[in-house]
Amino acid sequence: MNFKALQKKSKKTERKEGATAIKQKDGSLKMVRKYKRKKRYGHSIKNRSPGLMQADLKTKATQYGIPYYEIDIHQYRASQLHHDTGEYIKPTLSERFKTIEGCKVQRDLYSAFLICHTDDTLTAPDFKACHLDFPHFVKMQDTLILNLKKCGRTMKSCFGF
């Protein structure tokens, strides 16, 4: 995607197709065709970029005296790792769940679980800690998914429901 093109401002001044009702001081309604916005996605892209989020997180962590760590994502590959077998199996993007130790776990939550359980070098998982905390993780994940379903929130892009 060409983000530079998305940041550019539109050159043409155009009006919206539908008319908007504006209430005047005397109580009558006046139909007006407003102008379309020229602004594009420049600030929106900047404010939601992953790099900015990481920089903000690092700043806030140092501000409050909390240690900030970055793992090597190319060496660790949390999205591909199965901690029960120690194998790296690359899933497709359409696979939202994987089976680990006989339990069905959500792909992104499991990656976050593995990232939380890294060794001191931040390049490999701590398999002992993963095995100890995995049952608690599965219980918390099931509770989260159940609560989301109860509330009626659908998250097809993340959880597949």
| CA–CA distance, 123 with 9 (Å, rounded to integer) | 43
Above 70 in pLDDT, residue 3? no
Backbone φ and ψ for 54, nearest 5 degrees, come out as: -65, -40
Domain contains 58: yes
Residue 116 belongs to domain spanning: 76-152
Q: Which residue has the tokens 């900015």?
A: 52
Mean pLDDT of 31-43: 79
Domain contains 45: yes
- The 10s digit of each residue's pLDDT in 83-133 is 888 889 998 888 888 999 899 999 889 999 999 999 988 888 999 999 999
Q: Decide: helix, strand or coil at residue 118.
A: strand
Question: Are residues 83 and 111 located together in one domain of the fold?
Answer: yes
CA dihedral 9, 4, 71, 138 (to 10 degrees): 60
- The 10s digit of each residue's pLDDT in 133-152 is 999 999 999 998 889 889 88
E strand or H helix at 21, and its extent?
strand 20-23
Domain contains 17: no
* Domain tally, the chain: 2
If pLDDT is split at 50, 70 and 90, which confidence band does 1 have? low
Question: Are residues 80 and 136 located together in one domain of the fold?
Answer: yes
Domain contains 140: yes
